[in-house]
Structure 1
Amino acid sequence: MMFNKLKIHQQNLRKSLIATQQLLSNLENTNTDIIIMQEPYTRNSNKILGFPSNSHMYQTDENSIPKTGIFVNNLNLYCKKIEKFTNAWMTTIQIQLFKSLLVICNVYIEPNTISSHHIEFLRDLLKTYENVPLILTGDFNARHTLWNDRIINKHGECIYDLIIEFDLFLHNNKNATCLTINGTSIIDLTLSNHRATPHVKNWTTKINHQTIFDHALIGFEYGPDEKIPQRMYNTTRRFNEKKADWTKFKEYFDLETINNITRNIEHAQTTNTIDYNILRLTEIIQKAALHSIPIIKRSNYHKKSQWWDNELKCMQIVVQNKRYLFTKERDPRDRQCRYDEYKLSRNIFINTMRKKKLQKWKEFIEEIDTNNTWGNTHKQIKQKLNPKTYTLPILDDFPPSDHRKIIENIVNSMFPTHHNLLDRQLHQNTSPEQEYNISKEYIESLISKSSSKKAPGSDNITNAMLKPDKQDYHDYHNYRPISLLPNIGKLLEKILQFEIQNFLMTNNKINPQQHGFTRSKSTITALQAIKTKILTEKRQKLTSLIAIDFTGAFDNADWSIIIDNMHQLQLPQHLIQMMHSYFQHRTITMKHNTNEYSKVMTKGCPQGSPLSPLLWNILINKLLDTFNTSNASIYAYADDLTVICSATKLDDLHMALTNSMHFINSFSHSHNLKINFTKTKILNFHKKTFNHPVIIDSNIIEIVDKMKILGVTFENHHIKSKLNFGTHIKNVMNKAMKIKNVIFNYCKNTFGIDNKKRRNLFKGMIRPILTYGSEIWSDQINKKQKNSLESIQHQLLKNSVMGFKTVSKMCVQSLTKTVSLNTHINIKKMKFFHKCNIQRIDTDDINKYIQDYKKTKITEILSQTNENFKSFFVNNFIPNFIHTNFYTTQFLTGHGPFGEYFHKLRIIDNPSCTCDNSSMQNPSHLLLNCPHYSSIKRELNLHHIMDLPSFIVNKENFKRFKKLCKYIHDHLRSIEASNRQSHYQNDHTR
């Protein structure tokens, strides 16, 4: 996708939020591509503020206040910051043209501060890019008669010398660029070198006297001889299914045509007939979608802020007019009055703007109209933790004219041509025939189980229609492409996957040490087998572990070997024939903008296919079956291989390690696989050192002191009966703390999603991280590590009930109905050991047993809460409708702005209520007996309540109770604020 010119605007914002919003408002419908700004609004931080949160904003990364910035409003431009020439006073970016670059440099030099440092920096920039189109623009605070200013200052002399030295073209005309009460000046300049000058057009300035700006809005266009490329987001998700008319969609399906296609497929004699009819069906679905589902529209430019409304526009006009009247007033007394009026209206405008912005943000984050935990808050947290990038440095850092060739090289490198023996193997009919029947109901069940969130293939058909780490990204090895497969094709893959898997499992064809993508197996079963073996051997022998990594395992799976292995596993012939057909004429297509390259695949299992893990298991199964190295055991989870070796003597252990590696390396060579020796490591569970390294094909296998296996980090422990998981716990803690800090930014006590969503967020997002693999490591860690994990849970649950820092674990766990982390881990272990027959529980219904166990634990927790809490829940039972907020939590726990609580903390001397001097100010008194709140209780129809449990006896009472708590809380806080003000005034008087 190409276009002919760039529309660029430049503005000095005078560090003003109002100016920033006015600029965005003025340029709202102009489709400006680039906004160059000086003195942006930062609020004295190191970030430019006031622009959309997902803005393509380029500024300095230094820990200093940026004085310049470049906002790229056109999301599809190929832009990149030039780090060498970006600092607090200068921002430089490059824009990729079709065959060359355009460099734009934005400068702000404060008045009377220009130095040799500035000049040398600019001189270096101009020399570096003398043969590239370069635009140098900004507020130089430079005045000179060369650009029609009245006077010459030091800044002007220095910039004049640069213009002469580098033969720069000055685009300014006689119009002033800065207007103040002291007069006009021309200090905002636009310069270009000889490469850029012919292409800079329509340079204009615009000063509106009734605006907030002192500086003119400068605008110009850049129209190169070559086209300007734009990034296209090639997505297969074409239709907006949220706005689909499914009734109309169904009307486009003619039953007779569908039946005809079905009959043609059922009686097909060749694969071409099947392909033709599937294509017809695909076209029918696509046509129906085009007529009933709107196409997703994607704008090239940032959308305007939703909180900017007509009220703010009117207020903005008022502020501008008052400022204009103030600047034009000459009488000092009237001028001060005008200024006071302007300042008052400006402050009201800013406060209103902030309130509206905050209110819209709260509505966006809280989503009070939905119970979905995984809405906007969850998305914001995920984006903060793992920022999405839509750039491909391997392509974007090169001219678009080279993209087609680069794409071809990427595809050929990732998917090299491989000559296999598929045709010969098709005739090796060594497998029995079986009756094979796929019912309509079975197909419908597969469709219903398919996720609608998965990206569709090149046909744009989604399942909903069928349902009604930082690395060198210039290296293709560091990319893991996910294949976007047609969903109709995925149905066939799921059928094949189920039938093949069912045959292999029923007939015990898969080696029991394969734990990946196998029924009743998981990463945890693999880790349990590895842990058990290590501990068994470690007690009596020297033990070591090898973790083997294959280079591009799935991408290099040999189809002919897979078919050969299927014959050896005696799979039914029709399944082998279908797989043979499945491998034929498969193409891989890579698209980037308008470029695409396709290639016929000859090997590999596409990542994203339901079949790929199973095909890999068939390929690697022979290794597991034939592995017979002495003193060694092998375990697999898909392509993750682990070998545990043990021996009484160090030399025998070394031999076992070497022989194991030779065996696996030999298998890899014969099966066209390649071991990645740089990622293959050895972990010793002993303190001895080998006399010489383990060497395979001239590659030394590195020995490490810790190793991550299937997400759990193992280390040696000095006690022979234990393993060390200290690093794993530390990593888990760091990860959880990082997530916790992000969550706390979006979930405050009086701001953010409600209690129920916060609790679900913890249970679904953080607790799985804290407890992953706990079945393996929980009996190997110490009490301090367990307490650290419990502490993180407590902090997050305390946030979910919006309680004070001093609220106890028992109160928090009771309100959230969440057992301690240690109890949760024990439950996970019980279920796992019971399922794996390691330690069976004497029960017919394990789920009911676990539920009863949880209830018992929660009852125990409730019995340990404070007396204030128990006074509400006298029956040791918390109803399901109890979802607390910031106010109710304070009254339920007794930790709030109450005299009794503050007295315990020694914040105040007198714990009595203000209604009299004899009653202790606590939740019980305030809710039941305090006369200050009789009227509000009568309004809420709570005046008849005589005890605390009655406030929460039913859902309606609890709703009123929430309102009462908020009213009392706000009243107590207002009294507190009033007392502080009185003390301050008394101290000030003294």
Structure 2
Amino acid sequence: MATLVVALSRILGLISCPIIIGADANAFSTMWFSRFTDHRGRLVEQLIDSKGLVCVNKRSPHTSFNGRRGRTNIDISLCSVGIADEIVDWEVIPDVTSSDHNVIRFAFGYSRPPFVAKPSRFDTRRADWTAFNAFLATVSLPAVQDPNALALAVASTISAAAAHAIPVSPERSTLKPPWWNADVHLARRLLKVAARRLRLDGPDGLPRYRAARNAYTATLRRAKTDSWRAFCTIHGASPWGKLYKWLKKGPRPTELPPSLRRPDGSFTGSVAETLDTLVRVLIPSSVDDSPLPPVAFFPPPHPISEDIIKSKIWRISPNKAPGLDRITGCVLRQAWPSMKDHIVRLFNECLKLGHFPSAWKTADVVVIKKGPDRDPCLPGSYRPISLLPTLGKAFEHVILDSILMDISPHLTGLQYGFTRGKSTSDAINDLLLWASGRLEKHVLAVIMDISGAFDNISWSSLIEDLAQLGASPLSLALVRSYLAGRTASFTYGGLRSLISLTRGCPQGSILGPVLWNVTMEDLLRRPVPPFARIQAYADDVAVVVSASTRAQLIQRASAILDLPLSWGSVRGLTFSAAKSKAVVLKGGLSPGFTIPFGESRIVSVQSAKFLGLRIGHDSTFRSHITEVCSKSQDLFSRLRGVFGHDWGPSWRNTNLLYDAVFIPRIAYAVRFWYTATLPVVVRNKLTSLQRPALIGISCAYRTAASEVLQVITGKFPLDIELTYQAARQNSRSLPVIDRSAYISAAYDRAVVTWQTRWDASFKGRWTHEFIPDVRLRLVTPL
């Protein structure tokens, strides 16, 4: 009991909000109307007094415990002093359950603000488009010139037509699970009957209760199994349906928890506190932020054409999540024939005045978890995504074209993210190529972490950076208007918060990525000496430095790191020294030394992850392979669980899922690390990783040898597959005319290697008699 009291006391110390506790104290005290007070009861009493709690138990004709060992009161209800008066009608209700503890019920007189529900989306699959267009044909918009009024009128008209002709998607409610059926319902009802009889019959009814419980458990297990197999069979008929999404992403991530941990270690105690904590962390704003500077403006010489505006609208996916107006790309496409004149007039008025309408500036913010390994109780584990009005996103495409036309000639080419024609593979290749080409003995890479990069960037600095890159007055005016007066609406737990934004690039917008690249260019354009390089992929910044000695390397790295430090301070951005990592790419320096970085120091480590690839000083990528195998086990296990000899996807779709889901995940950036698969120990590790998937595809027994499974399914051994995929990735740098021959040669080498291994293996000799030629197996359907 003493240990339990200490643990509960520690938990209560972390909670600052009013609290209610219901507990089986298993202790006696006259405070909760036991006949006497024992040692355990005194310990609980001391906890109540020290934490300022109140016991709200009332005297009752019934005891909270009524079992074979007697009748007494050992169940307690505690609460904070401030809400003790809100708890009323406390009572003990006997004979409700089969437990020897009776039910305790009380009312809590708490009033809360009205519940705010998020608007339901229009279900375009059930839309009556004839009625939709007929409604639009009867509506005439006012002849206004003000872009704000015109944008509001266009959106209101389309929304009204959608409400008239398109049903809304049903709200998610507590629906029965897919495995619930009549047998489960009957077994559960019989279990409830047996539980009630047990309370009346006592020990004599226990065999009947256990039999009903076992029958219910067996029925439930069978229903769940049958439901899962039916799901895999039905949705496995389409290779890109729900089963594909589940295999690729796994189970749906858990929703936002009701309580979050504050920076001081305490937890939020209400929905309002949780909402406030999320808003403060994820959507920062301040009245002290610098105002947007004024810009000169000259209207465009020519209006934008109807065809261009239509192409911008058609660039938006029909089923993308809409903003608060609920107008999706699909709805906007259907409205185009009736509303195109008004939309063209609206866009041209916006360009003529250099104005972004206020109706398009409110974002509906949703949060997604950054990764499955993130702590769900930390607000920083979530990323805010802005759902914006579709018409506004179409106009953002117009602004984007204007910006890119202005600034593209002045870009450094060192930003690989959000840039057409560049990828993570290019960023990794250029970094490693630069490191290997240096003549100095040591090369150090510092992978830098910007805290809340997209959400904290200064708007005034952003406008200045855009002007420095040669943006036209039109682009400057449109971006300034786009940023000014933005708001974010965040709904959680029935409460809504509307935040005025003063900084940041909206994540989920069209302009957000290019605006980030604009501000990043100022860092990338700064002159650096020949022994250093700074490059970026979105907000992932890599600083690479070479030197001949350890002391010189640290001194040079510290000097170069002052550049991003000063760049970030002007723009309201901060670097996290704790999350930033330094890793030696060349030379024999042992990790553990530190590099000065402002008032902090960055620690060098054995290996660090850069754009999904773990790089280190040994250049063997062993640590990356270990991490890939560890993280990919769940993928192959999921594939194993969707097949059976008479259920699941077809053989064709099975192979498609294997090739389209799992191989790309394993083979990410394999061109850099495929040579690390050559050792036998690594080959065996990859074979073990591949084995569950091959068992699922072939429906073979678990005792079948992996070499046999590979031949039967016609799948390369994973190490050979990775070598072949590396060749495919390398072929992208070749002229188009040479790629096909290069890939064909790599395929032939893979087949020869596999054939040699298959002939030399001691396993599967009986299978070898039937399938001796793996090349023939690859072209023969089984």
Please indicate, yes or no, whether the TM-score normalized by the shorter chain is above 0.5. Answer: yes
Q: Distance in 2 between matches of 1:402 and 1:650?
A: 50
What is the letter of the counterpart of residue 103 of structure 1?
A: I
The equivalent of 1:821 in structure 2 is 718
What is the letter of the counterpart of residue 801 of structure 1?
A: S
State the 1:370 CA deviation.
4.2
State the 1:697 CA deviation.
3.4
State the 1:603 CA deviation.
2.6
What is the letter of the counterpart of residue 285 of structure 1?
A: I
Candidates 113, 121, 129, aligned match of 1:247: 129
Deviation readout 1:159-188 (Å, 9 max, x if unpaired): xxxxxxxxx42445399967x9xxx97579
Q: Distance in 2 between matches of 1:472 and 1:522?
A: 29
Q: Distance in 1 between matches of 2:553 and 2:175?
A: 65
SS at match of 1:227: coil
Q: Distance in 2 between matches of 1:574 and 1:458?
A: 28
- Change in 2 beyond 3 A, CA 1:822/1:669: same
Q: What RMSD in Å do the two structures reach over aligned CA positions?
A: 5.0
Q: Distance in 1 between matches of 2:609 and 2:180?
A: 50
What is the letter of the counterpart of residue 423 of structure 2?
A: S
The 5 Å alignment of 1:843-858 reads: 843=738, 846=739, 850=743
Q: Distance in 2 between matches of 1:291 and 1:585?
A: 32
2:523 is equivalent to residue 620 of structure 1: no
- Change in 2 beyond 3 A, CA 1:850/1:124: farther
**Kept after mapping to 2: 8 A contact 1:725/1:781:** no
**Kept after mapping to 1: 8 A contact 2:444/2:545:** yes
The equivalent of 1:224 in structure 2 is 108
State the 1:405 CA deviation.
6.4
The equivalent of 1:545 in structure 2 is 445
SS at match of 1:570: coil
State the 1:781 CA deviation.
5.4
The answer to which of 642-651 and 848-857 deviates more is 848-857
The equivalent of 2:395 in structure 1 is 492
Candidates 148, 151, 164, aligned match of 1:275: 148
**Kept after mapping to 1: 8 A contact 2:191/2:213:** yes
The equivalent of 1:602 in structure 2 is 502
What is the letter of the counterpart of residue 281 of structure 1?
A: V
- Change in 2 beyond 3 A, CA 1:193/1:602: closer
- Change in 2 beyond 3 A, CA 1:133/1:235: farther
Deviation readout 1:386-416 (Å, 9 max, x if unpaired): 5444435158723457568657755774566
Q: Distance in 2 between matches of 1:353 and 1:215?
A: 23
Candidates 291, 316, 332, aligned match of 1:466: 332
What is the letter of the counterpart of residue 269 of structure 2?
A: F
State the 1:525 CA deviation.
0.3
State the 1:534 CA deviation.
1.3
The equivalent of 2:427 in structure 1 is 526
Q: Distance in 1 between matches of 2:213 and 2:374?
A: 48
2:633 is equivalent to residue 737 of structure 1: yes
The equivalent of 1:705 in structure 2 is 606
State the 1:698 CA deviation.
3.3
State the 1:523 CA deviation.
0.9
2:56 is equivalent to residue 131 of structure 1: no
Q: Distance in 2 between matches of 1:363 and 1:756?
A: 18
Q: Distance in 2 between matches of 1:357 and 1:93?
A: 40
The 5 Å alignment of 1:382-461 reads: 382=249, 387-394=254-261, 397-399=268-270, 409-410=280-281, 413=284, 417-423=288-294, 425-426=295-296, 437-440=304-307, 443-444=310-311, 446-447=313-314, 449-450=316-317, 452=319, 454-461=320-327
2:2 is equivalent to residue 84 of structure 1: no
Deviation readout 1:413-443 (Å, 9 max, x if unpaired): 45664224521x335x7xx967563544653
**Kept after mapping to 1: 8 A contact 2:445/2:542:** yes
Q: Distance in 2 between matches of 1:734 and 1:398?
A: 37
- Change in 2 beyond 3 A, CA 1:417/1:586: farther
The equivalent of 2:346 in structure 1 is none
Q: Distance in 2 between matches of 1:597 and 1:320?
A: 44
Q: Distance in 1 between matches of 2:452 and 2:224?
A: 48
State the 1:643 CA deviation.
2.0
The equivalent of 2:360 in structure 1 is none
Candidates 659, 666, 671, aligned match of 1:770: 666
SS at match of 2:443: strand
Q: Distance in 2 between matches of 1:241 and 1:598?
A: 27
- Change in 2 beyond 3 A, CA 1:798/1:127: same
Deviation readout 1:459-503 (Å, 9 max, x if unpaired): 233334335666677775555322222222222223333443355
State the 1:511 CA deviation.
1.0
Candidates 784, 791, 797, aligned match of 2:694: 797
The equivalent of 2:413 in structure 1 is 512
- Change in 2 beyond 3 A, CA 1:118/1:412: same
**Kept after mapping to 1: 8 A contact 2:698/2:712:** yes
The equivalent of 1:562 in structure 2 is 462
**Kept after mapping to 2: 8 A contact 1:514/1:636:** yes
State the 1:128 CA deviation.
5.8
State the 1:596 CA deviation.
3.7
State the 1:765 CA deviation.
3.9
Identity of aligned residues (%): 18
- Change in 2 beyond 3 A, CA 1:543/1:495: same
Q: Distance in 2 between matches of 1:621 and 1:874?
A: 51
Long gaps (5+) in structure 1: 1-61, 63-80, 87-91, 135-167, 718-722, 883-990
- Change in 2 beyond 3 A, CA 1:85/1:759: farther
State the 1:735 CA deviation.
0.9
The equivalent of 1:661 in structure 2 is 561
**Kept after mapping to 2: 8 A contact 1:365/1:377:** no
The 5 Å alignment of 1:575-586 reads: 575-586=475-486
- Change in 2 beyond 3 A, CA 1:848/1:675: same
Q: Distance in 1 between matches of 2:673 and 2:37?
A: 62
The equivalent of 2:359 in structure 1 is none
Long gaps (5+) in structure 2: 28-35, 335-370, 759-763
Candidates 164, 186, 191, aligned match of 1:291: 164
State the 1:522 CA deviation.
0.8
**Kept after mapping to 2: 8 A contact 1:562/1:619:** yes
Q: TM-score, normalised by structure 2?
A: 0.76
The answer to which of 198-207 and 318-327 deviates more is 318-327
Q: Distance in 1 between matches of 2:673 and 2:437?
A: 16
The 5 Å alignment of 1:947-966 reads: none
Q: Distance in 1 between matches of 2:138 and 2:122?
A: 28
Aligned pairs, number: 718
- Change in 2 beyond 3 A, CA 1:827/1:692: closer
SS at match of 2:700: coil
Candidates 471, 478, 487, aligned match of 1:571: 471
**Kept after mapping to 2: 8 A contact 1:394/1:473:** no
What is the letter of the counterpart of residue 7 of structure 2?
A: K
**Kept after mapping to 2: 8 A contact 1:587/1:599:** yes
Deviation readout 1:856-905 (Å, 9 max, x if unpaired): 9679969969356549999756566x5xxxxxxxxxxxxxxxxxxxxxxx
**Kept after mapping to 2: 8 A contact 1:244/1:292:** no
The 5 Å alignment of 1:139-154 reads: none
Q: TM-score, normalised by structure 1?
A: 0.61
Candidates 99, 105, 127, aligned match of 2:23: 105
State the 1:716 CA deviation.
0.9
The answer to which of 565-574 and 369-378 deviates more is 369-378
- Change in 2 beyond 3 A, CA 1:791/1:405: closer
What is the letter of the counterpart of residue 603 of structure 1?
A: R
Candidates 195, 201, 205, aligned match of 2:89: 201
Q: Distance in 2 between matches of 1:121 and 1:688?
A: 58
Q: Distance in 1 between matches of 2:607 and 2:653?
A: 37
Candidates 159, 169, 194, aligned match of 2:58: 169
State the 1:519 CA deviation.
1.4
What is the letter of the counterpart of residue 623 of structure 2?
A: T
The equivalent of 2:577 in structure 1 is 677
The equivalent of 1:138 in structure 2 is none
Higher relative contact order (CA 8 A, sep 6+): 2
Asked which structure has the greater CA Rg, the reply is 1
The 5 Å alignment of 1:4-153 reads: 84-85=7-8, 100-106=18-24, 122-123=44-45, 126-127=48-49, 131-132=53-54
**Kept after mapping to 2: 8 A contact 1:433/1:574:** yes
The 5 Å alignment of 1:825-840 reads: 825-837=722-734, 840=735
